[in-house]
Amino acid sequence: MSSIGTQFLNFKVHHSQYSDIDPKTTLKGSASGKTIFLSGASRGIGQATAVAFAQAGAEAIYITARSEKALEETKTKIKEANPKTRCAYMVCDVTDANQVKAAIEDCVTQFGSIDVADANAGYLDKWTKIGESDISSWWLSWEINLKGAYYVVRYAIPHLIESARKHSAKGSSGGHLILISSVGAQLLTPGASDYQTSKHAVNRLCEFVNVDHGEDGIKCFAIHPGGVPTALGKNMPEAMHAFLVDQPELAAGFIVWLCSGKADWATGRYLSSNWDVHELLQMKDEIIKDDLLVNRLRTKG
């Protein structure tokens, strides 16, 4: 999937973490003093992201998922990565507004703030044509991928605004919001109507967060995490498994890089973890001038 994901810009392609986005070296200390809230953090990309923020010096990390056992495993990995990083968790179904609200409130109660919120929880069922699709499963893609992301956005926004103000006063960057999208949001693949339309909507949600709250200091990004061979990714047709060549640490490092403030100018946009960040920065002026990496209907005339 990563080779597909890089077709939109002619950037150098990465499949694993590299120096510019390494939380153990280049980005070490970039998350110092920050509290991170992560949904879907029990395994795969979410777990790797939690570990990366710990490596980058996060003050505290609050993780949620539906499995307490898996959350305990992630908590252990966080403590191994950085014994100084505080960690707490709550079992949470992101499709339940009350559970998401309770988790965010508990995070603030325990750690005092939220500086980064990452809506990582996702769902992808076996691909099938619309006329043969399972109605409950089709809609569950939207429930988890979009509604779940919206709930995190809705309840985290006030705390992220406060973070943005606090960090701005200190000359640093806060108030970052990460929405996990997919290159599928830009594609039209037979049988993938539920997943790809829900991820396309995630991109648009990201744009609306920027329109509604950019002036409040919120920096929101919709990211393609790469083609990672997670349980979710392997629900794609077997012929597409050849594209699952990326390590979860790639997206994790890219997210930490985004939340370091180095790409605040790109808020409200779709970005791919596979893209080389040095080359992305070099394209900054063109991206802003031509309003690139957003969903638009293009017509002639």
Residue pLDDT, tens place only, 80-94 = 999 999 999 999 999
Q: 39: which strand partners?
A: 64, 119
In this prediction, residue 266 carries a pLDDT of 98
Which run of H or of E encompasses 46?
helix 44-55
Which run of H or of E encompasses 116?
strand 116-119
This prediction's pTM: 0.94
Residues 111-147: pLDDT tens digits? Answer: 999 999 999 999 998 899 999 999 999 999 999 999 9
User: Is there a contact between 51 and 57 (Cβ–Cβ < 8 Å)?
Assistant: no
In this prediction, residue 6 carries a pLDDT of 43
Which run of H or of E encompasses 91?
strand 86-91
146 closest CA partner among 96, 201, 192, 104: 201
Q: Which residues of 183-195 are buried (b: 16+ CB within 10 A; e: fewer)?
A: bbbbeeeebbbbb
Percent of the chain at pLDDT exceeding 90:
86
In this prediction, residue 84 carries a pLDDT of 98
User: Is there a contact between 45 and 252 (Cβ–Cβ < 8 Å)?
Assistant: yes
In this prediction, residue 240 carries a pLDDT of 66
Is 199 among the residues known to form the active site? yes
CA 237 remoteness from chain centre: 24
Catalytic residue among 34, 147, 199, 219: 199
Average confidence score pLDDT of the chain:
93
Q: Is the pLDDT of residue 1 over 50?
A: no
CA distance 128 to 153: 30
Catalytic residue among 89, 151, 195, 270: 195
Q: What is the DSSP letter of 58?
A: B
CA distance 36 to 78: 12
Is 151 among the residues known to form the active site? no
Task: Please tell me whether residue 301 adopts helix, strand or coil conformation.
Answer: coil
Q: Residue 40: what are its φ and ψ, rounded to 5°?
A: 65, 40
Q: Is the pLDDT of residue 235 over 80?
A: no
Q: What is the mean pLDDT of residues 261-268?
A: 98
Task: Please tell me whether residue 119 adopts helix, strand or coil conformation.
Answer: strand
Q: Please give the residue that has the higher pLDDT: either 10 or 85.
A: 85
Residues 141-181: pLDDT tens digits? Answer: 999 999 999 999 999 999 999 999 999 999 999 999 999 99
CA distance 68 to 293: 37
Given 3.20.20.70, 1.20.1290.10, 3.40.470.10, 3.40.50.720, which CATH number is that of 2-289? 3.40.50.720
Q: What is the mean pLDDT of residues 63-79?
A: 97
Q: Is the pLDDT of residue 297 over 90?
A: no
Confidence of residue 4 (pLDDT cuts 50, 70, 90): very low
Confidence of residue 296 (pLDDT cuts 50, 70, 90): confident
Tally the C-alpha atoms within 13 A of residue 178's C-alpha that lie toward its C-beta: 37
In this prediction, residue 8 carries a pLDDT of 64
Confidence of residue 301 (pLDDT cuts 50, 70, 90): low
Q: Residue 55: what are its φ and ψ, rounded to 5°?
A: -60, -30
Residues 183-192: pLDDT tens digits? Answer: 999 999 999 9
In one-letter notation, the amino acid at residue 251 is A
In this prediction, residue 2 carries a pLDDT of 35
